[in-house]
Chains A and B, each alone.
Chain A
């Protein structure tokens, strides 16, 4: 009971911090809107007629999944910032389990990421992207899974970094290739073998595909794998990232 309470308290703290940081809220919303508004609209205008798919819808679903996944992953880095400001000491000297700390952090960063999704979906309506109520319900569930998955990915990256500065330097290299390997803007059905292997290794691929499955339906040729396969892979990776990441992070903290 006290572990569950502690997890909720940790998550609540992150959410409060978001509400009190207006600059961060504006920045969090602006970036995906630029991607969808400018890139999506221009791709559809330029190439949409020649392809069989609506590129605005395609970029919208890709960016929506990527934003939530990435926001949650990057949010975990605040554990490093906490350590540098010595706030994490207060958390790490408390008697709760280290796994509860990480789980609370993932939950908190998911709560931070999901309002961004809401903003992007509202923007999608403005751009006249059609989202039916059943699609919306499926997407909402998928986005919750994606946010938690992104947080777990953040843990495994975080476990191998020593400072916020290192994280800021490393994260673009970990994230940017996944933008293309996960097919946020570009279809990845017919990649050359080496890129196809890398695409299958990129965790973001499964997050994006899960959301596209929720939006397009599993019979669509845009969707790479069915929801069950994606969920199984995401579940496996979530547990692995959590267990290994927490173990490595705590070990690095104590064995300085």
Chain B
């Protein structure tokens, strides 16, 4: 039943998720089925990496994630919250449509979490609006 696993990575993910650095931005790609402890480890790793590197943005690509339940949803919301406390911003990228539909029905809309449909857009969002600019000014800038 290979069609049961449409994702590129069927096996469970354990241990550390790699955190890549692109200038001022940290890039994390989540794939497959995440172990609870792996998600919590990532939360801790990101806080330490931001504080050590002075990164101003975090992009979390979840296009390879088939399921976001309330546990993973809470971890993602907490990552976004702690990132802001460390003077950086988190953008969640590439949520699958089925995941978005399910999350809303579950009752989790992740308020306060910024989203983008592609890594390119997220990168643009984070680098154009450098730490000095304020969130409220996002839409008012001329192109």
Decide whether A and B are members of one complex.
no
> Interface residues, chain A, CB within 8 Å of chain B?
none
